[in-house]
């Protein structure tokens, strides 16, 4: 046990003293926030650019009122110039594009004859907006031709909003659902990335010690199983430390955000706003949307998600790291690892795709539940399901299966590790690994 502790301490200190670890731990949150702010700034700048669009209406159906200016789009009526002069002027000028509406015998033909000319590929959202404007005008005109009163149609429109509750009386919302999807997806994606990063780190560590022949000295005083387990636990501990530091950064960000938006986190945990208060805040109070969003976040099972994230992080990481360690022991250089690492990564990638495809649509569906039990996909899929509420029975079954599979994989990986770590000069195959597992003694 003392030797195992020494190996864990050695791997942990070697990891956290690495410059890349220090940089990634303290700068990554700042880089993520900075990148998000930069993307938002660039999007705002891109949207702030005013686009001038001219239109020529030979149908006589449209007016300037049908093409009202927006914050980023200005419309100019060039109907008097005609099509040819308009196209020539737009091509030589600084206009964004020209919308040409020809004269047709029927509204059906008119709807299919409108043309938009531009120097460059037009913004798809802008084209969609133009299509909606034209379709709405043609539709209203057709209703008038049929003798249908548009005012009565407008008066008959009623917007339905379905309120969502569970049987315990807790109200849900679409915003909360999207928050759950986002948080679950973020947790699953982070887990996948860290398993890949730290798993390959364990593999590289084994390869380096093997190629430098240091491993021959180490295994003379330490059992291969202890060495492998020490590497896995040491790297897992370093990863947890990194997550804890990021958690502190997240807490600071939430505290700052609550101060900026005027939200008292402690008071919001003690009391809930009534529906009337929320509606007033939404319509009147400055920054109400941000306050509502903050409340939705605080209503999520954050503590439960955090604890389960730690468990599934450790379980998933140690499960996959044992396989990566076995691969590192079986090869002499990193180039030979690709044929073995790709099959290991397939379940991770599959879990992310299954999570996005099924959990977001039906978190309690058969596929989502099944993949949250399979140990190679459960760390990711189950984390995506947790925000939607998973019974402790399901969680317990998933945890026990994950633990049992981890112990089995460590036992199998240790058999490969103890033989492969002292094999040199031969490119290992799956057949060789199978033989190493069957070796006794």
Does residue 38 lie in a domain region? Answer: no
Cα(439)–Cα(415) distance, integer angstroms = 8
* Inter-CA distances, 349 with 67, 87, 130, 431, Å: 47, 50, 40, 25
* 365 and 413 inside one domain: yes
| 184 & 96 share domain | no
Whole-number pLDDT of residue 333 = 78
Residue 279: band (very low, low, confident or very high) from pLDDT cuts 50, 70, 90: very low
- Burial of residue 437 (CB within 10 Å: 0-12, 13-18, 19+) is middle
Residues 1-13 have a mean pLDDT of 82
- Residue 431 domain-assigned? yes
Which position has the higher pLDDT, 169 or 316? 316
Same domain, 205 and 304: yes
66 domain residue, yes or no: yes
Least confident of 22-36, 125-139, 237-251: 22-36
Give dist(CA 209, CA 231) in Å, integer.
12
Q: Which of the four pLDDT bands, split at 50, 70 and 90, describes residue 266?
A: very low
Residue 2 belongs to some domain of the structure = no
Task: Give residue 44's pLDDT band: very low, low, confident or very high (50, 70, 90).
Answer: low
Looking at the structure, do residues 131 and 79 belong to the same domain, yes or no? yes
Residue 172 pLDDT level (bands cut at 50, 70, 90): low
pLDDT value of position 157: 81
Same domain, 199 and 104: no
The set of residues, in sequence order, having a beta carbon less than 8 Å from that of 413 and lying 6+ positions away, is: 228, 322, 323, 325, 326
Q: Does 190 fall in a domain?
A: yes
Whether residues 279 and 428 share a domain: the answer is yes
* Distance from chain centroid for Cα 141: 45
Q: Number of structural domains, the chain? A: 2
Q: Evaluate if residue 34 carries a pLDDT over 50.
A: yes
Choosing from 150, 170, 196, the residue where a domain stops is: 150
- Provide Rg for the chain, Cα atoms: 31
The pLDDT score that the predictor gives to residue 166 is 62
| Mean pLDDT of all residues belonging to the chain | 79
* Residue finishing a domain among 101, 133, 150: 150
Residues 208, 284: one domain? yes
Which residues on neighbouring strands pair with residue 316, listed in sequence order? none
Regarding whether 199 and 64 lie in a shared domain, the answer is no
Tell me, what's the pLDDT at 281? 42
Q: How does pLDDT run across 197-239, given as a tens digit for each residue?
A: 878 888 888 887 777 777 767 767 777 778 778 888 888 888 7
Give the pLDDT confidence of 57-91 residue by residue, as tens digits: 999 898 888 888 888 889 999 998 888 898 888 88
Looking at the structure, tell me whether residues 142 and 183 fall in a common domain: no
Contact between residue 316 and residue 192 where contact means Cβ atoms under 8 Å apart: no
- Residue 2 pLDDT: 78
Which of the four pLDDT bands, split at 50, 70 and 90, describes residue 56? very high
The answer to whether residue 25 is domain-embedded is no
Judge contact between 332 and 424, C-beta under 8 A.
yes
Grouping H, G, I as helix, E, B as strand and the rest as coil, residue 419 is helix
Nearest alpha carbon to residue 3 among 216, 321, 207, 234:
234
pLDDT category at 344 given cuts 50, 70, 90 is confident
User: Based on the domain organization, do 107 and 202 belong to the same domain?
Assistant: no
Whose structure tokens read 């306050």? 291
Q: Does residue 293 lie within any of the structural domains?
A: yes
Q: What was the pLDDT predicted at 169?
A: 60
Q: Is residue 157 part of a domain?
A: no
Domain-ending residue, one of 150, 171, 206: 150
Predicted local distance difference test score (pLDDT) of residue 287: 45
Q: Which domain holds residue 132?
A: 48-150
pLDDT at position 284: 40
Q: Are residues 97 and 207 in the same domain?
A: no
- Say whether both 422 and 291 belong to one domain: yes
Give phi and psi for 118, each to the nearest 5: -150, 155
Contact assessment for residue 191 and residue 320, using Cβ atoms and an 8 Å cutoff? no
CATH number at residue 80: 3.40.190.10
């Amino acid at each position: 046990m003392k030797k195992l502790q020494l190996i864990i301490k050695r791997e942990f200190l070697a990891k956290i003293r690495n410059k890349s670890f220090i940089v990634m731990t303290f700068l990554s949150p700042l880089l993520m926030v900075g990148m998000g702010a930069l993307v938002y700034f660039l999007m705002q700048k891109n949207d702030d650019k005013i686009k001038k669009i001219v239109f020529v209406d030979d149908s006589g159906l449209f007016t300037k009122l049908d093409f009202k200016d927006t914050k980023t789009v200005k419309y100019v009526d060039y109907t008097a110039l005609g099509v040819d002069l308009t196209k020539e002027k737009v091509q030589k000028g600084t206009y964004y594009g020209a919308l040409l509406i020809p004269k047709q015998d029927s509204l059906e033909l008119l709807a299919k004859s409108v043309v938009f000319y531009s120097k460059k590929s037009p913004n798809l959202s802008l084209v969609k907006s133009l299509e909606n404007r034209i379709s709405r005008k043609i539709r209203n005109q057709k209703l008038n031709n049929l003798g249908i009163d548009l005012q009565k149609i407008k008066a008959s429109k009623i917007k339905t909003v379905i309120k969502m509750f569970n049987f315990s009386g807790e109200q849900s919302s679409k915003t909360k659902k999207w928050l759950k999807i986002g948080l679950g997806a973020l947790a699953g994606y982070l887990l996948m990335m860290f398993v890949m990063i730290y798993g390959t780190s364990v593999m590289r560590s084994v390869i380096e010690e093997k190629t430098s022949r240091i491993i021959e000295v180490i295994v003379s005083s330490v059992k291969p199983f202890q060495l492998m387990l020490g590497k896995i636990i040491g790297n897992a501990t370093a990863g947890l430390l990194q997550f804890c530091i990021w958690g502190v950064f997240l807490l600071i960000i939430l505290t700052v955000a609550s101060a900026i938006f005027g939200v008292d986190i402690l008071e919001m945990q003690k009391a809930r706003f009534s529906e009337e208060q929320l509606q007033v805040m939404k319509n009147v109070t400055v920054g109400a949307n941000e306050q509502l969003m903050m409340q939705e976040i605080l209503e999520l099972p954050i503590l439960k998600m955090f604890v389960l994230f730690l468990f599934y992080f450790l379980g998933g990481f140690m499960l996959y790291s044992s396989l990566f360690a076995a691969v590192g022991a079986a090869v002499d250089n990193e180039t030979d690892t690709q044929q073995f690492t790709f099959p290991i990564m397939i379940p991770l990638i599959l879990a992310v795709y299954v999570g996005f495809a099924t959990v977001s649509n039906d978190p309690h569906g058969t596929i989502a539940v099944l993949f949250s039990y399979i140990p190679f996909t459960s760390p990711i899929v189950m984390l995506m399901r947790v925000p939607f509420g998973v019974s402790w029975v399901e969680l317990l079954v998933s945890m026990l299966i994950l633990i049992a599979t981890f112990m089995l994989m460590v036992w199998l990986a240790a058999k490969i590790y103890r033989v492969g770590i002292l094999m040199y000069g031969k490119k290992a195959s799956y057949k060789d690994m199978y033989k190493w597992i069957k070796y006794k003694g």
